[in-house]
Chain A
Amino acid sequence: MTAYILHLAILVGIHIILAVSLNLIIGYAGQVSLGHAAFYGIGAYVSALLALHLAAPFLLCLAAAGLVAGVCGLGLGLPTLRLKEDYLAIVTLGFGVIVDIILLNLGITGGPDGLVGIPAPVILGLSFRPQPRFLALTALLTLLVLALAAALVRSYHGRALRAIRDHEVTAQVLGINTPAYKVAVFTLAAALAGLAGSLYAHYITFINPESFGLHTSILVLSMVILGGMGSLMGSVVGAFLLTVLPELFRQFKDYQDLAYGALLVTLLIFRPQGLLGGGKLSLKFLRQGG
């Protein structure tokens, strides 16, 4: 039972990193990405391949996962972020499908069978195979990502991003280099998703393309919307709820996607800001009672 709770806690941590990074794109910069799982997958595969083939140390794998995913994000973002939100949604979705197809067809990625026997992280001779230690590692990384995101959204750059989200033309008139900002935040978010992928690969020790398809992109999107676009605490809550609730309601597994779809539409109509939305990173909503 303890093992199970630890397992869930580790997954919650990984999902928080994913949701927070996607929220930077959607909630702060106002752009849609429907291919976030692709960066997660790229990170997972890069990290796993380095560990399996080159026996690279974990920290190197982790860094490489973030770097490669970030570079892919940059490569996708540069040409496409000039587009309107809805075009971008389809392009990122298409990117997700392309990555999925490549993972399925390449020899080195093991095709549909994926990669097995990914080693547990070892840092300075300390193995993170035991679950409590892995949880500590995940928690540390999650907190770092949250701190980074919080610092970003509070800074001048965070305000610039929100200005782009609220009115791009006005932001431009105010002298904000909107394409550069959008590409930068997209790259950063892709890199963070890559880190999450690396953690996932070394925790589960077995990966295949199924974990990184459209389903995962939509799951992360649901976390962001449920928690509230533009609220980092919201993403934490969204990631927690959508990781734990499906476990509690295991017997209704068949209805899970149905519920997600209905949840998205209803939330957007009746409470588009999500549970904690409003664009503020604070617990003020608690004091104000919503």
Chain B
Amino acid sequence: MVNRPACLPARETDTQPGRLGFPMFVQQLINGLTTGSAYALIALGYTMIYGILGLINFAQGELYMCGAFVAVLLLATGQVGLVGAFLAGMLAAALLGVALERVAFRPLRGSHPLVPLLSAIGASIFLQSLALLLFGPSDRPFPVQLEFRTVEVAGLPVSSLQGLILLTALGFMALLLVFVRYTRYGKAIIACALDRDTARLMGINVDRMVALTFLVGSALSGAAGILMAMYYNATYPRMGLLPGLKAFSAAILGGVGNIPGAIVGGLLLGVAESLGAAYLSSGYKDAVAFVILILVLLLRPQGILRGKGH
């Protein structure tokens, strides 16, 4: 169970670092935004759960993996369409997230903060090795061959796959913002995050809101997993490990507990990583996120946009 970051099929590093120049810069920027949008989606889950419970759901990366596997397996049957498989993947991740909260978090509420953290790590290992047993260690390609070409947007080349991924991810983020700001349930979640006891006094069922937070956050992580399974054309049991950790860095970068912050942090981190791989060294690509994480914690621990959790 060693993390082998180098084996990630990195489609975006096919440009040689030697050839600099504006087109390559833009290309790397777009690559970075694409992976960054996935980090942002996972970071939203982290940040919402942190906001309401004050703890890190370490298994967030496994929800990402779960979404991808369910969608890929459904698509491979040939019975389900792309949209149907996508929604089913998100639903599976969401349900798994709610189950996780029940099993690994709820019984531990009120204990030393170390304990739920360690239990989430345990859950993460469990899910990863379960996937390894069920699906085997090898990469699965995305079963549907999507026809994609490069389109010119304002004179710049953008692959339409990247465009689709970016738009889908941004769409989910917009939906989430609307949900949180303008719906009863969204506002109830925010109320619980602000002050759980007062929210309870106001007649909000806190346990239900916690479950709802896990449901929404996990669905978004699942969506990110499916999008990245399309982008990298690979689905495998350990696929969630690094994106999960990086998304956590993104959540901290944006300010933990801050929803727009998670989006900004995710996109920024994706771009930083992509530019770092292109201009510094591709071997150290996966280290970029963690170096940024340590720097942020040193210089501005509250994140770019001030977060609730310190």
Question: When the two chains form their complex, are residues A83 and B286 in contact, meaning their CB atoms are under 8 A apart?
Answer: no
The verdict on B44 contacting chain A, using a C-beta distance below 8 Å, is: no
Interface residues of B in 96-130 (CB under 8 A from A): 103-104, 107-108, 111-119, 121-130
Bound CA span A13–B190, Å = 50
- Per-position contact with B for A67-88: 1 when CB-CB < 8 Å, else 0? 0000000000001100111110
B117 touches A32 (CB 8 A): yes
Contact between A84 and B126, CB atoms less than 8 A apart:
no
- Select the stretch in A98-106, A152-160, A232-240 that faces chain B: A98-106
Q: Is A213 within 8 A of B2, CB to CB?
A: yes
12 more contacts with CB within 8 A, not counting A85-B113, A97-B287, A257-B129, are: A30-B112, A30-B114, A79-B298, A80-B297, A80-B298, A85-B117, A86-B113, A95-B294, A97-B242, A257-B126, A268-B118, A269-B108
CA distance A232 to B133 in the complex (A): 34
Q: How distant is A149 from chain B, measured CB to nearest CB, in Å?
A: 19
Given the interface pairs A84-B310, A90-B249, A265-B103, the reply to whether A260 lies near B122 with Cβ below 8 Å is: yes
Decide: A98 and B2 in contact? CB cutoff 8 A: no
Among A83, A93, A213, max chain B CB count under 10 A is at: A93
12 contacts between A and B (CB under 8 A): A84-B309, A86-B117, A89-B56, A90-B293, A91-B290, A97-B242, A257-B125, A262-B122, A265-B122, A269-B107, A269-B108, A269-B119
Q: Are A86 and B122 in contact (CB under 8 A)?
A: no
Contact digits for A189-228, partner B, Cβ 8 Å, 1 yes 0 no: 0000000000000000000011001110010010001000
In order of increasing CB-CB distance, the 7 nearest A-B pairs are A264-B122, A261-B126, A94-B290, A261-B125, A257-B129, A213-B2, A215-B1
Q: Does A104 contact B287, Cβ atoms closer than 8 Å?
A: no
Given A30-B112, A94-B249, A268-B119, the answer on whether A258 and B126 have CB atoms closer than 8 Å is yes
Point out the residues of chain A lying under 8 angstroms from B130, CB to CB.
258
A95: chain B residues at CB < 8 Å are 290, 294
Q: Mark A92-126, 1 if CB is under 8 A from B, else 0.
A: 01110110111011000000000000000000000
Contact A102 B113 (CB under 8 A): no
**Contact of B123 with A265 in the complex, beta carbons under 8 Å:** yes
Shortest CB–CB separation between residue A98 and chain B, in angstroms? 5
Contact B290 A97 (CB under 8 A): yes
Residues of A within 8 A of B293 (CB): 90-91, 94
Complex Cα spacing A102 to B117, Å: 27
Q: Is the CB of A32 within 8 A of B287?
A: no
Instruction: Collect the chain B residues with CB atoms within 8 Å of residue A85's CB.
Output: 113-114, 117
A-B contact count (CB 8 A): 148
A161 within 8 A of partner (CB):
no
- Chain B residues near A254 (CB, 8 Å)? 132-133
B6 touches A264 (CB 8 A): no
A218 touches B125 (CB 8 A): yes
Q: How far is the CA of A255 from the CA of B132 in the complex (A)?
A: 10
A interface bracket (residues with beta carbon within 8 Å of B): 35 or more
Q: A89 vs B252: C-alpha distance in the bound complex, in angstroms?
A: 13
Give me the interface of B with A, judged by CB distance under 8 Å: 1-3, 5-6, 55-56, 58, 103-104, 107-108, 111-119, 121-130, 132-133, 241-242, 245, 248-249, 252, 281, 283-284, 286-287, 289-291, 293-294, 297-298, 301, 309-310
In the complex, what distance in Å separates the CA atom of A86 from the CA atom of B126?
20
The one of A79, A89, A97 in contact with B297, judged by C-beta atoms closer than 8 angstroms, is: A79
Q: Could you tell me the dominant secondary structure of chain A's interface residues?
A: helix
B129 lies within 8 A of A258 (CB):
yes
Interface: A132 (CB within 8 A) = no
For residue A101, which residues in chain B have a CB less than 8 angstroms away from its CB? 5, 283-284, 286-287
Residue of B nearest to A209 (CB): B2
| A-to-B contact residues, CB < 8 Å | 26, 30, 32, 34, 79-80, 83-87, 89-91, 93-95, 97-98, 100-102, 104-105, 209-210, 213-215, 218, 221, 225, 229, 254-258, 260-265, 268-269, 272
A101 vs B283: C-alpha distance in the bound complex, in angstroms? 8
Q: Which residue of B lies closest to A210 (CB)?
A: B2
**Considering residues A80, A215, A229, A257, which has the most beta carbons from chain B within 10 angstroms of its beta carbon?**
A257
A84 x B113 contact (CB < 8 A):
yes
> What residues of B have a CB within 8 angstroms of the CB of A262 in the complex?
122, 126
Q: Chain B residues with Cβ under 8 A from A213's Cβ?
A: 1-3
Q: Is the CB of A94 within 8 A of B119?
A: no
The one of A84, A102, A104, A268 that contacts B108, using a Cβ cutoff of 8 Å: A268
Query: A80 to B133, Cβ gap below 8 A?
Result: no
A32 touches B114 (CB 8 A): yes
- Picked from B115, B129, B245, B252, the residue with its CB within 8 Å of the CB of A97 is B245
Given the complex, which residues of A lie within 8 Å of B107, measured CB to CB? 269
Closest to A264 in B: B122
How far is B121's CA from A221's CA once the two chains are assembled, in angstroms? 10
B245 & A90 in contact (Cβ 8 Å cutoff)? yes
For residue B103, which residues in chain A have a CB less than 8 angstroms away from its CB?
Answer: 265
Q: A86-B113, A87-B252, A269-B108 are known contacts. Are A261 and B245 too (CB-CB below 8 A)?
A: no
Tell me if A91 and B297 are in contact (CB < 8 A): yes
Residues of chain A lying within 8 A (CB to CB) of residue B125: 218, 257-258, 260-261, 264
